[in-house]
Structure 1
């Protein structure tokens, strides 16, 4: 093989590796929820092209209030689903919707849009 073909081959493999890392292996550490009134741990999540932040860290055994604010009109983002808690909420555009949960056990609990394109994690520490 000629040097230019080697360069194209190595560049292509490197690009594929970067795409795999960026979309499937790159995980954020998470944002710690703040302590709010009423003993709730609270966090604000912006819904626009995904969930920002997409990882929320909370303590087990204390109630959690996640405030979702949807700033787009994509049909996939109109609902959030917490399958492990058997909860979901409609997210109207431009409005803040609170979802209240009580995580009892430490672990990671995913939340998604109905199509699974937007993904987030609730990280519960003991």
Structure 2
């Protein structure tokens, strides 16, 4: 291989690494859910090119309500799935859809689209 082939190969590997880190690398922080007068911890989640926020921090032992608003028409964003709770919901474009979850123990719970490409986490703390 000559020098130009090596440069293209190295740049390609660096780009693959950057893409992998962006999508699957460690994420920090999170948005804190607010406690409403109904007693639920609530967070609004925008669905557009993923979930925003994708990490929501809640307190253990209190029920949770997420309100999803889908702002795109891609097939991947049609549904949200909470596998640990056997819950899922269709997300029509432009409508707010509420999903209630029971009080949870401390830990991390995933939520995804039906294809597993959009990912989020519920971080439960004491």
- The separation in 2 between residues aligned to 1:12 and 1:118, in whole angstroms, is 25
1:63 equivalent in alignment to 2:48 = no
Contact 2:40 2:62 in 1 (8 A): yes
- The separation in 1 between residues aligned to 2:6 and 2:113, in whole angstroms, is 42
- The separation in 2 between residues aligned to 1:104 and 1:22, in whole angstroms, is 29
SS at match of 1:39: coil
Aligned residue pair count: 126
Structure 1 residues 1-126: aligned runs within 5 Å: 7-126=7-126
Q: Which runs of 5+ in 1 are unaligned?
A: none
- The separation in 1 between residues aligned to 2:27 and 2:90, in whole angstroms, is 26
Aligned Cα root-mean-square deviation (Å): 1.8
TM-score, structure 2 normalization: 0.88
Deviations 1:58-115 (A, max 9, x none): 0011011100001111222111111101111111111101101123211111111111
- The separation in 2 between residues aligned to 1:96 and 1:122, in whole angstroms, is 19
